[in-house]
Amino acid sequence: MNKPFTPHEIKNIPTEKFVMSPIELRDYLDFDVKRVYFMTHPKQDSGEHMHYIEKEFFIIIQGKCTAIIDRGNGKEDIAMEGPTTALYVPNFVWHGFKDFSEDAIILALSSTNYIPDRSDYLESYDEYLKIRDEKIKELYE
């Protein structure tokens, strides 16, 4: 499996009729997919946050955007451009998206079903910084 936080280049296989971009999930994910959702028609940046439980795999299907990730060294920007870029974001990793092109479409694969009360979210970056180093070291090193 590939390492978390690293943008993945999705393979394209051109055929006479179309271009196929296969993704063998076992090569990218350490979770079973429980939910799939799309982000389309962006009007503003997504909210930055962290999940206590949920892990996500984001694939930019069309257009482009910038992922904001804190993998233990402060926030950094990761350029994503469709249809060949994907990003695995484990739990306890601060993330969000900005600078969407008008035609951007992001496909998200999630390890959890939707949790409407948002109890899995931490939306305060200051609170995240208090737990970041300990959790990232514990989970991903």
Domains, in order of start, for the chain: 7-140 (2.60.120.10)
Give me the mean pLDDT over the 82-103 stretch. Answer: 92
Task: Look over the chain and give the mean of its residue pLDDT values, rounded to a whole number.
Answer: 88
- Report CA dihedral (122, 127, 129, 131) to the nearest 10 degrees: -80
- The answer to which of 25-29, 63-67, 82-86, 127-131 has the lowest mean pLDDT is 25-29
Write down the number of H helices and E strands in the chain: 1, 12
Q: How far apart (Å, rounded) are the C-alpha atoms in residues 43 and 90?
A: 26
Q: How far apart (Å, rounded) are the C-alpha atoms in residues 70 and 76?
A: 6
Please give the model's pTM, rounded to 2 decimal places. 0.84
Give me the mean pLDDT over the 88-112 stretch. Answer: 95
